[in-house]
């Protein structure tokens, strides 16, 4: 990863973490100060989706080329995506406990997130159950493409057809409602970019670790 991207990443993250706590926010009923969770919870999902799409892209590339480096990239992207997904679930749960009064509710968006996590856990299990390196790469790539396409329907289409308690659905205040309040955007966009860059950075480091481990295995 280029150095300037790393600098942008760190600068944006520092700015959004500190700025997110300091800037004035609109006082909306029920939400009040918890609206600041927008700066911490929502970027998790943006970066999760970004790395999971990267994982899908590398899976397709692998099937097209049969090069192992694409498989490593696909696997590590999926792992980082799941990590961000778990962070998103935690930040969302804490917020839900304080605004809705429950850690978990039966809601399309929440269920979509949980099902996505289950799919990727199944993906890792499938990988572990296969010993042959090339067979594992191929079968895992097929599963991840197949699963991603079906989950995309679930996450992007179904929530738009049903009511939801989650902000952004069914008349609940959402990001679009804050359009008037441009100060929130000043912090929100850098947060999204910063966290996505951080995710890419982690993937980058993990792939390099993987390479070194493989190198040592070859030496033995």
Q: Which residues bind another protein (CB under 8 A)?
A: 63, 111, 115-116, 118-119, 122, 125-126, 129-130, 135, 138-139, 141-143, 145-147, 149-151, 153-154, 157-158, 161
Instruction: Rank residues 119 and 193 by Cβ distance to another protein and give the closer one.
Output: 119
Output the smallest distance, CB 191 to another protein, in A. 29
Contact 76, 203 (CB under 8 A): yes
> Phi and psi dihedrals of 110, rounded to 5?
-65, -45
Output the smallest distance, CB 22 to another protein, in A. 40
What does the alpha-carbon distance between residue 31 and residue 37 come to, in Å, rounded to a whole number?
10
Instruction: Rank residues 132 and 220 by Cβ distance to another protein and give the closer one.
Output: 132
Place of tokens 């895992």: 140
What does the alpha-carbon distance between residue 199 and residue 54 come to, in Å, rounded to a whole number?
11
Output the smallest distance, CB 135 to another protein, in A. 7
Q: Report which secondary-structure segment, H or E, holds 24.
A: none
Alpha-helix runs per DSSP H in the chain: 3-22, 42-65, 68-99, 108-128, 133-152, 158-161, 182-219
Output the smallest distance, CB 115 to another protein, in A. 5
Instruction: Rank residues 42 and 141 by Cβ distance to another protein and give the closer one.
Output: 141
Instruction: Rank residues 100 and 143 by Cβ distance to another protein and give the closer one.
Output: 143
Contact 166, 172 (CB under 8 A): yes
């Amino acid at each position: 990863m280029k150095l300037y991207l790393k600098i942008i990443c760190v600068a944006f993250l520092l700015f959004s973490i500190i700025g997110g706590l300091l800037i004035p926010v609109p006082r909306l009923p029920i939400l009040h100060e918890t609206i600041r969770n927008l700066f911490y919870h929502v970027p998790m999902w943006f970066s999760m989706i970004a790395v999971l799409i990267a994982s899908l892209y590398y899976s397709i590339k692998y099937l097209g080329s049969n090069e192992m480096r694409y498989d490593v990239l696909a696997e590590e992207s999926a792992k980082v995506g799941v990590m961000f997904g778990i962070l998103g679930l935690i930040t969302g749960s804490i917020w839900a406990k304080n605004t809705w009064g429950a850690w978990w509710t039966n809601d399309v968006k929440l269920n979509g997130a949980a099902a996505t996590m289950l799919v990727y856990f199944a993906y890792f299990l499938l990988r572990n159950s296969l010993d042959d390196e090339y067979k594992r790469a191929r079968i895992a790539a097929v599963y991840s493409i197949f699963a991603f396409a079906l989950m995309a329907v679930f996450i992007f289409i179904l929530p738009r057809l049903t009511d939801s308690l989650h902000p952004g659905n069914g008349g609940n205040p959402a990001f679009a409602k804050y359009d008037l309040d441009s100060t929130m955007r000043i912090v929100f966009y850098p947060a999204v970019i910063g966290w996505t860059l951080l995710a890419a950075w982690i993937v980058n480091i993990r792939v390099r670790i993987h390479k070194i481990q493989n190198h040592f295995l070859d030496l033995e």
